[in-house]
C-alpha cells in the first residue's frame, strides 16, 4: 500500500463528476488499498477516489466510524437510497485542510454500493458514518462541503482560505 498525494481545493479534479466503476479489477483493488493507507496517514474519516486524482466512483471510510463491524468500508458506485431526519454537525475535508464548518445533512441513511468482492451491499447507518458517506458521495458528484454553506459563509471561506493559501 502506498500513500497518494491528496488533491486540495481548487484542483479541478475535485469538480469532476466521477465515472462509474465497471469491474473490480486488480487496479481497483490496489487503488482502494492505497486510499485506505492515505486516509489513515492523513487522519481522515473518509476519502473519495477523485481526491487522489482518479475520477471514478469509489469511496473509503475509516474503521472507527464503522462501529458495527469495526473495519474500514470500501464502497464502489455508492448511492444513497433513503434518508431520514436531519442533523447539523461540524465537518472537515482532507481537500480543504484546516477548514471546518457546521453542515446540515440527513441524520440516517441507507446506502447501497458494491464491495471489493463484487457483491452489492447495503449500509444502514446514522450519525458520523451517515455523514461521512454523504460527504464522500458528494465528492463523486464534484460537490465539496463548502457548497452547502450559506452565501455569506461561503464568502468568508473564500476570503479566509484563498488568502491563507493551501
Q: Which residues contact Ni ion (rule: CB under 5 A)?
A: 93
Cβ-proximal residue to Ni ion, closest one: 93
In whole angstroms, the minimum distance from the beta carbon of 115 to Ni ion comes to 21
Q: How far is the CB of 91 from Ni ion (least distance, A)?
A: 8
What residues form DSSP beta bridges with 144? none
Catalytic, 136? Answer yes
User: 93 vs 146, which CB is nearer to Ni ion?
Assistant: 93
Closest approach, Cβ 92 to Ni ion, in A, equals 8
Known catalytic residues are: 136
Amino acid at each position: 500500500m502506498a500513500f497518494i498525494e491528496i488533491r486540495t481545493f481548487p484542483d479541478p479534479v475535485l469538480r469532476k463528476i466521477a465515472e462509474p466503476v465497471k469491474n473490480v479489477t486488480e487496479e481497483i483493488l490496489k487503488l482502494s488499498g492505497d486510499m485506505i493507507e492515505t486516509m489513515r496517514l492523513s487522519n481522515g474519516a473518509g476519502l473519495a477516489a477523485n481526491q487522489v486524482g482518479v475520477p471514478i466512483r469509489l469511496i473509503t471510510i475509516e474503521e472507527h466510524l464503522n462501529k458495527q463491524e469495526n473495519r474500514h468500508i470500501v464502497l464502489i458506485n455508492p448511492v444513497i437510497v433513503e434518508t431520514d431526519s436531519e442533523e447539523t454537525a461540524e465537518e472537515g475535508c482532507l481537500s480543504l485542510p484546516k477548514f471546518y464548518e457546521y453542515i446540515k445533512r440527513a441524520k440516517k441513511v441507507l446506502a447501497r454500493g458494491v464491495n471489493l468482492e463484487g457483491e452489492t451491499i447495503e449500509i444502514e447507518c446514522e450519525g458520523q458514518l451517515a455523514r461521512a458517506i454523504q460527504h464522500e458521495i458528494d465528492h463523486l458528484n464534484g460537490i465539496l462541503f463548502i457548497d452547502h454553506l450559506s452565501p455569506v459563509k461561503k464568502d468568508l471561506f473564500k476570503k479566509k482560505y484563498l488568502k491563507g493559501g493551501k
